Amino acid sequence: MSVFNQSRKNVIRLIFLAAFAVILLQLINLQLVSSKYKKLAQENAILRKVVYPSRGIIFDRKGKAILDNTTMYDLMVTPSQVKGIDTASLCRILDIDTAEFRERVISAIIKNTRNRPSVFSALLSPDKYAKINENLYKFQPGFFLQERPVRIYPFNTAANILGYLSEVDSNFLKKHANEGYQMGDYAGMTGMERSYEKVLMGERGIQYILKDNLNRPKGPYENGAYDTAAIAGKHLYTSIDVELQKLGEKLMENKIGSIIAMDPKTGGILALVSAPTYNPNLLTGSERRKHFNELYRDPALPLLNRAVNATYSPGSTFKTLQALIGLHEGVITTGFRVACSGAFYGCGGGKPMKCLDKGVFDLRGAITISDNTYFATVMQRVMNNPKYPNQDSALAVWDKYMYAFGLGHRLGIDIPTEKRGHIPTPQYFDKIYGQGRWNYCNFRSVSIGQGEVDVTPIQVVNEMAFIANKGWYHIPHLVDSIEGGDKFGLLDPYKKVITPTDIPDSIFEAVHDGMQGVVERGTGIGAKIDGITICGKTGTVENYYKGVKQPNHSFFCGFAPRDNPKIAIMCVVENSGHFGGTFAAPICGLMIEKYLKDSISGDARKANLDRLSKLNLIPPRIYKELRTRDSLDHLKDTAYLKKTGYWKTTTDTLETDDEPDLKAEKTKSRKSDKDSSNTPAKIKPDAILPDNKKKATKDSINI
């Protein structure tokens, strides 16, 4: 009977073959065609661990570390191993409650699974670290301490120069795609940390580590054949004098403005103070975000590096440059005299420019007493020079001088966010007045450094170096040398001597004479130091904020000693009122003395130092803004509370119309945040939850 079915054996064979063919096809797909599974396998089994080298250290000119590395500790948790530990005592040490404890463990599980360690408490403060380290045996193996290298600033100074580190964001990653950064890394965001990031960061190493199905590391992959070692970041040796920097910051306490001191021979910055400043140690450690928020919202803008990023009209300090141009163009001689009868009438009627001291002055005298009429006349002569067909071309020549002196363009100092300032060009006036419809009288205030001219403090100090050196300068810079050589050519621009003009020494001598007079018997007498010949120039800068006239800025710039200049300096105190000589000159005097004599001598001068550093010159405007900001916050809070309904509940229960207890409200609104995630959490920073902190906006701001 079964013989009839014998042909069916072939059908069965065929079924077998077909089935195996199907499996074979899928195997070809899995093993030969698709690369997806090989990649997934790598991700499964091999952990690519980045090994971070220590960042480079920054030293001052005397070899003191102004920026160093230290080790802080993160408390790490492996959730799967948290069993039967003394939770209460850990909570007591960390100052959290058990609910918070549980929440952190849960968020650790969500972030990194229960078998992988995650950060439980980041960057412990020293006393918390000590307590935990002592009791660690109680919490093991679920908890352990992990080292974290952190920046530390032993002198609490130079925050604006050094800059800070911050976690990189996706924009940064896009920009630096092939430089080995990854999410969660830190990179220099401002100051030298940013401009020398390449040098400081070192080279990252990569370790390939085998892991198992629970993500537990099992040892090196292929005995480390593919690993690369980390190379430590290189140190930077700067020209900063940390003592001088500290003195400058002390002098500028409770003031807004900046001081820059520079070695004119090398262009190396000795001190670069931007006030108000902050303790750079605030931006490391676990409280970083809180501090950053405070600084970021301060109306005095402590995060702004005014030395390179603020622009001012130069005021009378500009006159030194006008003198150089006038003499070199031959429109005046050193003996050229102008009489000031009280104002400059060279433009006929209108609003004449006043001069302070009436009399007849030659060039030296005009610099010394800062005579407005004299320099208005000088610039008028430059503009009306018969050598040039019209004022248009004359202004262009004047511009060329100004550019040569380093104004109107970025100098290229080695910290970011430098501004270019402004020197008015013929095109600029064409735009305002129309082509050919302007002349010198439209902008005569430029002659004395007011009006359409803007400079940065770093440009002013550079121009002082240029005058001190009688015709040449180095681009101002902070870093002298890099450990192991300058591989990226970062320092090349600073080695060049720049000689932008062919102004002869005799012209400089005349200007020096005038500037020496400024300090010895003129407007800058406050800077005078016995035994040092200082050349200087004061400036009193009128300024406006949102169209409203503000108290004058006080300017002083200069160099010393005259014959062998070792320091070029400038100081600006914003909105201090009075004259340039009143505040800026004595500050510069003290700085020069400190640098050249290494200390402040004499009780009178020490008292002066004390007086100046205690002087509060912060304009009322800032305090007003501070108040406005706080009351705005208050309003915002109130609005938020009203929106979320908490306001209502309190007014219902409160019988009086007293201001409700905002603190209590805030804790309530915190809870509401946790409950309802759909309400936008627009609360002021000190109400940000610790967990939100980690996710909150990135730190990079462009200033």
Partner 1 sequence: MNNTRQGISKGIDTTILWLYFALVTIGWIAIFSVEYRTGDNAIQKILSFNTNYAKQLFFIGLSLIVGVFVLLTDSKFFTATANLAYAFGIVTLLLVFPFHSHIKGTNSIIKVGAFNFQPAEICKLFVALALAKYLSRLETNFNKTNSHLVAFAITLTPSILAIFQNETGLALVYFSFFIVMYREGLPAWYLVLGFSLIVLVVATLLVDKNILAIILTTIAVFVIYLLYSRFKRYRRYTFLVVGIWLLAVSIQRFAVPYVFDHIMQPYQVKRIYAAIGKDYVPKDAQQLKELQEKEKGKKKDESDYNVKQSKIAIGSGGFLGKGFLKGLQTQGDFVPEQHTDFIFTAWAESFGFWGSFLLLGIYLFLLLRIVNIAERQRSAFSRVYAYSVASIIFFHVMVNICMTVGLAPVIGIPLPMLSYGGSSLLTFTVLIFILLRLDADRQMVLR
Binding site for partner 1 (CB under 8 A): 1-2, 4-6, 8-9, 11-13, 15-17, 19-20, 22-24, 26-28, 30-32, 34, 36-38, 40-42, 44-46, 210-213, 218
* 528-546 CB burial, b ≥16 within 10 A, e <16: bbeebbbbbbbbbbebeee
- Rounded to a whole number of angstroms, the minimum distance from the CB of residue 99 to partner 1 is 23
CB 83 to partner 1: min, Å: 17
Q: Judged by CB, which is closer to partner 1: 30, or 635?
A: 30
**Long-range CB contacts (< 8 A, 24+ apart) of 511-515?**
511/320, 511/323, 511/324, 511/327, 511/363, 511/367, 511/467, 512/467, 512/562, 513/364, 513/367, 514/320, 514/323, 514/363, 514/364, 514/365, 514/366, 514/367, 514/368, 515/320, 515/367, 515/467, 515/558
Shortest distance, CB of residue 106 to partner 1, whole angstroms?
A: 14
Tokens linked to 174 = 């896009």
CB of 51 vs partner 1, minimal distance in Å: 21
Nearest to 315 by CA among 548, 520, 557: 557
Q: What is the 3-state secondary structure (H, E, C) of 380-391?
A: HHHHCCCCCCCH
Cα Rg for the chain, rounded, in angstroms?
34
- By beta-carbon proximity to partner 1, the closer residue of 20 and 623 is 20
Q: Closest distance between partner 1 and the C-beta of residue 89, in Å?
A: 30
Nearest approach, Cβ of residue 211 and partner 1 (Å) = 6
**From CA 608, how far away is CA 589, in angstroms rounded?**
11
C-beta closer to partner 1: residue 223 or 678 = 223
With respect to partner 1, which residue has the nearer C-beta, 19 or 441?
A: 19
- Give the nearest distance from C-beta 231 to partner 1 in angstroms: 29
Instruction: Give the relative orientation of helices 391-404 and 426-433 as an angle to the nearest 10 degrees.
Output: 130
Per the DSSP assignment, residues forming a β-bridge with 48 are: 208
Which amino acid belongs to residue 443? F
Of residues 601, 615, 569, 602, the one with CA closest to residue 588: 569
Query: CB of 45: closest distance to partner 1 in angstroms?
Result: 4
Q: Which CB sits closer to partner 1, 106 or 635?
A: 106
Closest contact distance (angstroms) between CB of 2 and partner 1 is 6
- Coil/strand/helix, residue 153: coil
- Give the pair of three-digit tokens for residue 519: 């300090």
Which C-beta is closer to partner 1: that of 29 or that of 393? 29
Burial of residue 598, with CB atoms counted within 10 A of its CB: 0-12 exposed, 13-18 middle, 19 or more buried: exposed
Strands 353-354 and 217-220: unpaired
Q: Which is nearer to partner 1, 44 or 228 (CB)?
A: 44
Q: How far is the CB of 26 from partner 1 (least distance, A)?
A: 5
Q: Please return the burial class of 370, using the count of CB atoms within 10 Å of its CB with bins 0-12, 13-18 and 19+.
A: buried
Q: Each residue of 169-179: b (16+ CB within 10 Å) or e?
A: eeebeeeeeee
Q: Which is nearer to partner 1, 215 or 700 (CB)?
A: 215
Kindly tell me which of 38 and 358 has the beta carbon lying closer to partner 1.
38
CB of 82 to partner 1, least distance (A): 16
Other residues' Cβ atoms within 10 Å of the Cβ of residue 248: 30
Q: Are 76 and 136 in contact (CB under 8 A)?
A: no
* Residue closest to 308 by CA, chosen among 163, 405, 175: 163
